[in-house]
Amino acid sequence: MATDRTDEGVGMGESGRPRRATVLDVAKAAGVSSATVSRVLNANYPVAEATRTRVQKAMDELGYVVNAHARALAGATGRTVGIIVNDVTDPFYAYIARGVERQATRAGRLCLVCSTQGEPARELAFVDMLHERRADAVILVGGSYDNKGYATELAARARAMAHQDGPTLVLCGRPSLGPDVPTAVVEYDNEGGGFALTDHLLSQEHRRILFLGGPPGLSTTRGRIAGHHRALRLRGIEPDPLLQQTGAFNRRFGYERTRDLLKAGRPSFTAVFGANDHVAAGAVQAIEEAGLRIPGDLSVAGYDNVPLTRDLRPQLTTVHIPLEEMGAEAVRRVLRDPDEDSNSPAPGRTVRLGTHVVVRDSVAPPSRR
C-alpha cells in the first residue's frame, strides 16, 4: 500500500519511497521561506493575501499535513486532554467522558482516553504517559482507595508536573490530595446524596434499610455510607452492621448478595439502598425472582441516575449526579472556554456539584405485617 506508484509531487528519495512534504517543501514550491509557511499555517501573523494563497496552493498540491509532534516540540502544548477511567462501557464513566470530550473539543483539544480496566495500579502508568505527551490536563475519574502510599505517589506526580509546568492533575469525583498538592478538583456530594436518599426512605417509614454494594475502601462508597449513617442517626437509629453489605459496584454483586439474603428467610429489611444503580438492578432481579413485589414487598433505590434506571420496572428511585457536567467542569478548571465572556473571573481550582434525589416508582412505605 505504501509503495503506491502515483507519486504526487514531493518526489521520492533515492530509495524510491515517498517522503512526506514538510514546511520546507511547501516553502520551496511557493517561493517563500519556511517562516512564512508557518505563518499562514497558524494565521497568527499578518501575511500578504497573495502570498497566502500561493502557499495554500502549494500545500494542497503537495498534500501537506503538519506534524503535530514537531509543532508540540517547537513550543506549543500537546493540545491534548487525558482522561483516566475504570471502564468506558460503564455509563458513569462514559457520561463523564462525554462531558470531557465535548469541552475539550470546544477548547480545541483532542481527548486521550485511558482505561485501567479495573486495575487502579495502572493509573500511575497512565499519568506518566500523559505527562510524557505533554497533555494539558490529566483527569482522574472516580473514587479512590484510602491508600497512603498511593496518595503519596500521586501527589509526587502532581507536584512534578506542576513544577515543570506540565499537565495539571484534575481529580474528578475523588477527594483532594490535600491543600498543598497542586491539583484541581471537581467533586460531587456523596455524603449529601447518601443522606438525602436515606432520608427519603425514612420519610416513607422504612426503618430497616439494607445498604448494598460498593467496594468497601472506595471513597465513593464511604461517602455514601457516611451520609446514610448521618440520616439514620438523626432519627435516632443506630446503623446495624448486618445491614451494611459492601462489595462491588456491579449488578452481579447486587443480585447474588440479595438472593442469598432472601434465601435465608423473611428479610430483616424493608428497603434496599443500592450503592449505585447497577447494584440496585441486581437486587431488583433477585427480589423479582424470589417472587416478591417492588415496591409492595420491598423498596429499592439506586444511585447515579444512569439510563438503566428508566428501563427497570418499576422505574428506579435514585440520586442524580450531573455526570456530563462534571466532565466539562474538569476541563474548565484547566482550559478556559474560548467562547466564554473573556473577562469573567478565572475558575477556582475546586468546585463541588450538587446532586438530588429523583423519586420514581421503586419506593413505597413498607407493608404492615
Partner DNA sequence: CTGAAAGCGCTAACAT
Partner DNA sequence: ATGTTAGCGCTTTCAG
Q: Is 12 in the site for DNA (CB under 7 A)?
A: no
Q: Which of 28, 56, 61, 71 binds DNA (CB under 7 A)?
A: 71
Q: Is 155 in the site for a copy of itself (CB under 8 A)?
A: no
Q: Is 286 in the site for a copy of itself (CB under 8 A)?
A: no
The least CB distance from residue 15 to DNA, in Å, is 12
Three-state DSSP string of the chain? CCCCCCCCCCCECCCCCECCCCHHHHHHHHCCCHHHHHHHHHCCCCCCHHHHHHHHHHHHHHCCCCCHHHHHHCCCCCCEEEEEECCCCCHHHHHHHHHHHHHHHHCCCEEEEEECCCCCHHHHHHHHHHHHCCCCEEEEECCCECCHHHHHHHHHHHHHHHHCCCCEEEEECCCCCCCCCCEEEEEECHHHHHHHHHHHHHHCCCCCEEEECCCCCEHHHHHHHHHHHHHHHHCCCCCCHHHEECCCCCHHHHHHHHHHHHHCCCCCCCEEEECCHHHHHHHHHHHHHCCCCCCCCCEEECCECCCHHHHCCCCCEEEECCHHHHHHHHHHCCCCCCCCCCCCCCCCCEEEECCEEECCCCCCCCCCC
Q: Given the rule CB under 7 A, which of 67-75, 93-101, 108-116, 152-160 is the region that contacts DNA? A: 67-75
Instruction: Quote the CA–CA distance of 32 and 265 in Å, as a whole number.
Output: 86
Do residues 191 and 219 touch, judged by C-beta distance below 8 A? no
Instruction: Quote the CA–CA distance of 58 and 316 in Å, as a whole number.
Output: 61
Torsion 64-69-71-74 (CA) sign: negative
Q: Is 88 in the site for a copy of itself (CB under 8 A)?
A: yes
Q: Which of residues 294-353 bind a copy of itself (CB under 8 A)?
A: 308, 311-313
* Closest to DNA by CB, 166 or 295: 166
* Closest to a copy of itself by CB, 4 or 14: 4
The least CB distance from residue 86 to a copy of itself, in Å, is 11
Q: Are strands 110-115 and 80-85 parallel, antiparallel or unpaired?
A: parallel
* Closest to DNA by CB, 71 or 208: 71
The least CB distance from residue 25 to a copy of itself, in Å, is 12
Q: Is 154 in the site for a copy of itself (CB under 8 A)?
A: no
Q: Which of 70, 234, 242, 292 binds DNA (CB under 7 A)?
A: 70
* Closest to a copy of itself by CB, 40 or 209: 40
Q: Is 162 in the site for a copy of itself (CB under 8 A)?
A: yes
Q: Is 45 in the site for DNA (CB under 7 A)?
A: yes
* Closest to DNA by CB, 41 or 196: 41
Q: Which does 113 bind (CB under 5 to 8 A by kind): a copy of itself, DNA, none?
A: a copy of itself
Residues 98-137: x/- map of binding to a copy of itself (CB under 8 A)?
x--xx--x----xxxxxx-x----------xx-xxxx---
Q: Which of 1, 2, 43, 50 binds DNA (CB under 7 A)?
A: 50
The least CB distance from residue 65 to a copy of itself, in Å, is 5
Question: By the criterion CB under 8 A, which residues form the site for a copy of itself?
Answer: 1-2, 4, 6-8, 18-20, 63, 65-70, 72-73, 78, 80, 87-89, 91, 94-95, 97-98, 101-102, 105, 110-115, 117, 128-129, 131-134, 159-160, 162-166, 168, 182, 281, 308, 311-313
Question: By the criterion CB under 7 A, which residues form the site for DNA?
Answer: 19-20, 22-24, 31-39, 41-42, 44-48, 50-52, 64, 66-67, 70-71, 73-76
